[in-house]
Amino acid sequence: MGGFKTLKSKDPEIFNAINKELRRQRETLEMIPSENFASWDVILPLGTWLTNKYSEGYSGKRYYGGNENIDAIENIAIERARKLFNVPHVNVQPYSGSPANFAVYAALCKPGEVIMGQNLTDGGHLTHGWKTSVTGEFFRSVPYHVKPDGYIDIDEVRRLAVENRPKLIWVGASAYVREFPFEEMAKVADEVGAYLVADIAHIAGLVAGGAHKSPVDYAHIVTTTTHKTLRGPRGAMIMVTEKGLRKDPDLADKIDKAVFPGLQGGPHDNTTAAIAVALLEASQPQFREYAAQVVKNSRALGESLKRRGLHLVTGGTDNHMVLVDLTAYGKGMGIFAQEALDLVGIVVNRNTIPAEPSSPFYPSGIRIGTPAITTRGMKEPEMEAIGNMIGDVVDQVKDYSIGKDREERTAEINRFRREVVSNAKVQEVRTQVIELCSRFPLYEGIEM
Ligand code: DSN
């Protein structure tokens, strides 16, 4: 037992794909802000026999026998999360971030009630009421926006809340580079009697590590995924705060019932164990250093990009990511930058920017994050170098355009794809990326 030997001979197709993915992660700079590298100790429990068990229900109240070890694991995960985030109640069973957010709706809102969240193209998340998510269909979604300078428009939030009397207001986003104004958002929510729910999926590790203000004194509920800055497995948690219990003493019970039996069946116990390990890691002093370095790196990267003439939304960052506005070169340029960067091994995602002039599929920016490369041990000097590499690559795509209609766009993207593969600068930067990655080994000693 153990190792990959049997998988290699039994299922070479899957073995090879997993092996190639390990190589890809080692030889590229992973800069999607929502990704990270979980430690081997976090990864291990995921591939164990814990995956075999059914545990519907909660600790001490399961619908299946044989759950004594699962109860112990879930209790440990809950206790660690309660301590780390300083909250009285935690549910560690949501399968991932979207199901966690759906559970919050299920606990608090009836279909048709008003909810508010940061607009998707202003950096918000699909599950905060965007029109193509069921959350935009089942509830009356009143989105709020960022101002032209990229900061959340609190005056608009207040005006919309007073006019529409939402049941729930989300604070938290997928592409927001400044500290979230938890206190101001709480004042608005309290004024109109709404629940304030902080979705800290992106910044959970920064909050745990003391590098971002905690929402716990301001929000009634906090949701998070566990695999982003928190560096755990793919999973999620819902936390109920003291403030939440003061507003509604049954809130913890409502959340638990919404997760199970409301929305889910058996929890993924292998994930719960891995979450527990990640929470242990996040409570160590080294994790505080990690969280602080993520932000230092993000700031250093931003300064390096600015020196290369690139424009950052809000002019900088307070957290783990920067958002580059490429409109100086035309609208919808994100696709060219993302694909050229992919070729050199700098993995980012194209993203909308405030007042997006194009569309979510052909947006005008790129989002670049430092959580994963900081886990590899990179610091400010490497950020300076990466900023220059990104500057060099973006220089190569400036003269393409997405055209004025679909036909022109297809022709231009095809021309770009033909040309970029043989671009000498792109090839040169690819070599630099490989060299940089080789100095910061990933999953050392793991061979397949
Ligand atoms: N919106 C995804 C991201 O930030 O990458 C997470 O759901």
* Placement of tokens 């153990």 in the chain: 2
Determine whether 342 is exposed, middle or buried from the number of CB atoms within 10 Å of its CB (0-12, 13-18, 19+). Answer: middle
Catalytic annotation on 342? no
Ligand 1 closest atom vs CA 201: 6
What is the per-residue pLDDT across 404-447, written as a single tens digit (0 to 9) for each? Answer: 899 999 999 999 999 999 999 999 999 999 999 999 999 998 88
| Structural tokens at position 210 | 């003391």
From the list 199, 256, 318, 382, the catalytic residue is: 199
Could you give the CA distance from residue 71 to residue 63 in angstroms, rounded to a whole number?
Answer: 12
Q: Residue 175 C-alpha to ligand 1 middle, in angstroms?
A: 8
Catalytic annotation on 225? yes
Q: Does 261 sit behind a cis peptide bond, omega within 30 degrees of 0 on the bond before it?
A: yes
Catalytic annotation on 56? yes
Atom 2, ligand 1: residue with shortest CA distance: 174
Could you give the residue ranges of the DSSP H alpha helices within 109-230?
134-138, 154-164, 182-192, 204-208
* Strand residues in 63-109 grouped as ranges (E): 89-91
From the list 127, 135, 224, 225, the catalytic residue is: 225
Q: Residue 318 C-alpha to ligand 1 middle, in angstroms?
A: 18
Contacting residues for 279 by C-beta, under 8 A, at least 6 apart: 77, 80, 81, 84, 232
pLDDT tier at 1, thresholds 50, 70, 90: low
Who lines ligand 1 at CB under 6 A? Answer: 34, 97, 125, 174
State residue 390's pLDDT score.
Answer: 98
Residue 310 burial (CB count, 10 A) = 22
Atom 5, ligand 1: residue with shortest CA distance: 34
Spatial contact of 221 and 234, defined as CB atoms under 8 Å apart: no
Atom 1, ligand 1: residue with shortest CA distance: 174
Q: Residue 296 C-alpha to ligand 1 middle, in angstroms?
A: 22
What angle, 0 to 180 degrees and rounded to 10, lies between the N-to-C axes of helices 406-420 and 334-344? Answer: 20
Task: Tell me what percent of the chain is helix, strand and coil, each rounded to the nearest 5.
Answer: 50, 15, 35
Q: Residue 185 C-alpha to ligand 1 middle, in angstroms?
A: 22
Ligand 1 closest atom vs CA 174: 4
- Over the Cα atoms of the chain, what is R_g? 22
Residue 311 burial (CB count, 10 A) = 15
Ligand 1 closest atom vs CA 97: 7
pLDDT tier at 2, thresholds 50, 70, 90: low
Could you give the CA distance from residue 386 to residue 322 in angstroms, rounded to a whole number?
Answer: 13
Spatial contact of 241 and 221, defined as CB atoms under 8 Å apart: yes
Instruction: Calculate the average pLDDT of the chain.
Output: 97
Atom 4, ligand 1: residue with shortest CA distance: 174
Determine whether 349 is exposed, middle or buried from the number of CB atoms within 10 Å of its CB (0-12, 13-18, 19+). Answer: buried
What would the mean pLDDT of 322-330 be, rounded to a whole number? Answer: 97
* Strand residues in 31-163 grouped as ranges (E): 57-58, 61-62, 89-91, 114-118, 140-144
* Segment holding 349, helix H or strand E: strand 349-351
* Placement of tokens 């999973």 in the chain: 235
HSE at residue 412, side-chain half, CA atoms within 13 A, is 17
Ligand 1 closest atom vs CA 202: 4
Catalytic annotation on 234? yes
Query: 62 in helix, strand or coil?
Result: strand
Q: Are strands 195-199 and 221-225 parallel, antiparallel or unpaired?
A: parallel
Q: Residue 34 C-alpha to ligand 1 middle, in angstroms?
A: 6
pLDDT tier at 391, thresholds 50, 70, 90: very high
Could you give the CA distance from residue 94 to residue 103 in angstroms, rounded to a whole number?
Answer: 8
pLDDT tier at 38, thresholds 50, 70, 90: very high
What angle is formed at CA 434 by the lines to CA 430 and CA 435, rounded to 5 degrees?
115
Domains of the chain (ranges; CATH) run 45-282 (3.40.640.10), 286-438 (3.90.1150.10)
Residue 235 has pLDDT above 90, yes or no: yes
Residue 189 has pLDDT above 60, yes or no: yes
| Structural tokens at position 199 | 């979705």
Could you give the CA distance from residue 248 to residue 195 in angstroms, rounded to a whole number?
Answer: 10
State residue 250's pLDDT score.
Answer: 98
What would the mean pLDDT of 139-148 be, rounded to a whole number? Answer: 97
Q: Percentage of residues in the chain with pLDDT exceeding 90?
A: 97
State residue 248's pLDDT score.
Answer: 98
What angle is formed at CA 346 by the lines to CA 342 and CA 348, rounded to 5 degrees?
75
Residue 161 has pLDDT above 90, yes or no: yes
Q: Is the dihedral of CA 101, 112, 255, 116 positive or negative?
A: positive
State residue 3's pLDDT score.
Answer: 76
Q: Residue 210 C-alpha to ligand 1 middle, in angstroms?
A: 22
CA 283 and chain centroid, separation: 20
Ligand 1: residue of 125, 203, 367 to mutate (most ligand atoms within 8 A of CB) is 125
Could you give the CA distance from residue 411 to residue 181 in angstroms, rounded to a whole number?
Answer: 44
Ligand 1: residue of 120, 121, 132, 174 to mutate (most ligand atoms within 8 A of CB) is 174
Lowest mean pLDDT among 41-55, 63-77, 98-112, 403-417: 403-417
Catalytic annotation on 228? yes
